[in-house]
Amino acid sequence: MAPASLRFTDATFGPAGSMPSTICSSIFRLAMFSSVCGQLLGDSETDRVQDLMSRYPLIDGHNDLALQLRRHYHNLLSRVDLQHLPSMATDIARLRAGRVQTQVFAAYVLCGAQEKDAVRLTLEQLDVIRRMCTEYTDMELVTTAEGLRGAESRGKIACVLSIEGGHSLDSSLPTLRMFYLLGVRSMALTHNCNTPWAGSSSDLYNFYQRENNTLTLFGQAVVQEMNRLGMIVDLSHSSWETARAAISVSKAPVVFSHSSAYAICNHSRNVPDWLLHELKKNRGLIMVTLFSDFVACEGQANVSSVADHFDHIRNTIGAEFIGIGGDYEGVLRFPLGLEDVSKYPVLIKELLRRKWPEQEVAGVLRQNFLRVFDEVEKVRDELRLSPPGEAQIAPEEVDHPCRLVLRPPRPQAPTSAPSSGPPRFLSVALLLPASLLALH
């Protein structure tokens, strides 16, 4: 039976076209009750997300802030306040708001530098990341899984250095080792271009076209040396053939630092189911990315679109092989509701709404990445007695005009004895106006 306040009788109704005050009062109380319940439910969900992310703050697998610092500020950190960068999607204040405790920052240089000055440009990008992670007290540069955990206990945003694209090596294992000594702990084998030793998922560039778009023998040596050093092998941007070959060679788990599910959006940068199964065998990690073009192949992406990728990968290989790699600052279009790094709680709320257990969400947030990092370091320790790799790429595989081929200098033809008087360069200098000489 309905409550007395909502029970109607013949005497309840007044004149035609009117509603008695008792009914209006009851409806008003019911509406208020529904509104309050909705607010309490919303507050409860938000509190649940904040509580979970305070206990398991996010490790984000990929961010290109350093690229934007070069583009907009020429890497001049003195002109930047990293606490607040309203023109970008990443700053310290919003990392805090998004509960991002660890950010993997990419040192990325354009593929056009491959046969030019890629190594120098990469060093400059590593320098700016190291500076911002040491000059700002909110941040801390870390190089180990234990260091990452320690940064969390100190309330710091941990910075992990990565290189996005094997073209930064100029096909040199010694260069790889020097990058490791600078603190680099992850490297993507390719970006949007092939290297002489690995195939890319993209056909934007014509570098090193081969029928077999996979790892060469030297590419396998790169993966093996990364295992020996304790550097995470990143397969985002690699061709599927390269990814499969790298997984078969690697003794340690690998990651796709910012890729999503091909079954949901059939873009070549995403990972097909058969490759997901190979990743599971490797105990690796796919860190779902948020770039709209990789999330929704058609239409406007939103938070639900992103969660669909998480659901599919979870149903295919399990939640323990999933992480998050936003790719903020690397691309321009993000799903509605996920426009910057402060919005990560919105995504976590959607996963919880879809009945993901909190422990699985905790894995996605950080535990899965920590497990991979730990296992990479375990393989490093097992290989500690192995000597550094000495594989060298064949000159014909990496032939380009900016690579010096070491050979003895040619004998110089004898020249006539110099004439008396001032040296030739001095004679020229004496003819220059004094005002021009003053510039030097």
Residues belonging to the active site: 62, 64, 164, 191, 237, 258, 327
Closest Cα to residue 362, out of 57, 22, 62? 57
Helix or strand holding residue 150 (H, E): helix 145-153
Instruction: Give the separation between CA 53 and CA 408, rounded to whole angstroms.
Output: 62
Q: Which two tokens stand for residue 208?
A: 């090193």
Q: How far apart are the two ends of the chain, measured CA to CA in Å?
A: 100
Q: Which residues contact 53 (CB under 8 A, 6 or more apart)?
A: 99, 344, 345, 348, 365
Q: What is the CA angle 266-269-270, rounded to 5?
A: 55
Q: Which residues contact 184 (CB under 8 A, 6 or more apart)?
A: 107, 126, 161, 162, 163, 231
Q: Which residues contact 325 (CB under 8 A, 6 or more apart)?
A: 60, 61, 62, 104, 236, 256, 257, 258, 259, 287, 288, 289
Instruction: Give the separation between CA 440 and CA 424, rounded to whole angstroms.
Output: 18
